[in-house]
Amino acid sequence: MITLSHLGKTFGGAQAVSDISLTVPEGAFLVLLGPSGCGKTTILRMLAGLEHPTAGEIRFGDTAVADASRGYVMEPGSRNAGLVFQSYALWPHMTVAGNVDWPLRVANLGREERRARAAEAMEMLGVAGLAARYPGEISGGQQQRVAIARMIAPRPRVLLFDEPLSNLDATLRVEMRTELMRVHRATGATAVYVTHDQIEAMTMATHVAVMNGGRIEQFDPPERLLSDPASAFVARFIGTPPANLIPVQAGAWFGRMPDPALRGATGHGMVRAEDLALADAPGPDTFAAQPVEVVPMAGRRLVTGLAEGQRVTAVTDLAGPVPSELHFRLPPAPAAIFDPKGNRLS
């Protein structure tokens, strides 16, 4: 449904997005995931038609909506795409019903069809009872529901979300994740969702593009990002807690614990928190660390220590007080090895 081919965008000579290529199947839920400034919102704005690419092409199905090589950009209103902003962007002088009806009026639909579509969208988002109220009279979570109802009322083929849950509290975020997934299934549209929150990405997405510095580090289903990270950046960014990347020098952990499993590599060995154990005493396969924090999670504890300036976390059943010095036991082999530039070696 969505194809990006060598997509690029520069602002005043600065490269915001560089050589992005991916294909999203119809009905998929794509999440663009990454830290602030990585280019994910710029891609979303190009999909919506609010920014024009300086390189590459965007296609919705068989239709080109932007092609930098021939200077062509389809108008946003002609793309059959809906967009929800981070700030909701509701008209304050219109009622809830008026806000939802507005894009239908712009599309010149008849009064009865507009009324039916607006009612259907408000009912789907649970805001039908708020139809006569104004945005200033309802909560932030309700405003977000109205913004989504307004987006789906015209029945677009593509749904675009720009960090729509970032202004909500933690409980509402969980509820709205469920609602967005339900709406996506009900509409059958193809969704593109921008966030820096990996939990949102891992729970909602069928496909995730992990971005860094204007480029895609990895484009895969959520499970693959955890099981098989393509780079050190992905390994650090994905996971709760993320994997430990322990320095390796010439095949030795921390440069002083030789291990044949490292195959003479220099860079970082990836050790998942669940594969790192706490030892009662020093040993040939342990390293010492100063305790930093202990976080209870799902009946277990995440114990984090600082070893030679490196934060290291283990998932453990440790009970009672944490000792003044920790001894982490390494597994027989790392889950992956990355070179000094973060490229995966094995």
The pTM (predicted TM-score) of the whole model is 0.91
Integer Cα distance of 103 and 323 in angstroms: 62
Which tokens sit at 267? 């860079």
- For residue 89, what pLDDT band results from cuts at 50, 70 and 90? confident
pLDDT at 206: 97
Cβ atoms of residues 86 and 163 within 8 Å: yes
Q: Is the pLDDT of residue 299 over 90?
A: no
Mean pLDDT rounded to a whole number for the chain: 94
Cβ atoms of residues 84 and 164 within 8 Å: yes
What is the CATH number assigned to the segment(s) 2-232?
3.40.50.300
Which tokens sit at 222? 């959520």
pLDDT at 322: 86
Residue range 305-326: mean pLDDT, rounded: 90
**Which single residue is written with the structure tokens 């807690």?**
241
**What pLDDT, in 10s, does the model give residues 63-79?**
999 999 999 999 999 99
- For residue 57, what pLDDT band results from cuts at 50, 70 and 90? very high
**Which single residue is written with the structure tokens 């720009």?**
162
**Which single residue is written with the structure tokens 């040939």?**
284
Q: Is the pLDDT of residue 43 over 90?
A: yes
- For residue 321, what pLDDT band results from cuts at 50, 70 and 90? confident
**What pLDDT, in 10s, does the model give residues 211-264?**
999 999 999 999 999 999 999 999 999 998 999 999 999 999 988 899 999 989
Q: Which CATH superfamily is domain 241-338 in?
A: Nucleic acid-binding proteins (2.40.50.140)
Same-fold call for 2-232 versus 241-338: no
Does the CA dihedral 32-34-37-38 come out positive or negative?
negative
Q: Is the pLDDT of residue 15 over 90?
A: yes
Domain ranges of the chain: 2-232, 241-338
Integer Cα distance of 209 and 225 in angstroms: 10
Cis peptide before 103 (omega within 30 of 0): no
Which of these, 34, 31, 84, 35, lies nearest to 205 by C-alpha position? Answer: 31
320 Rama class: left (phi>0) / alpha (psi -120 to 50) / beta = left
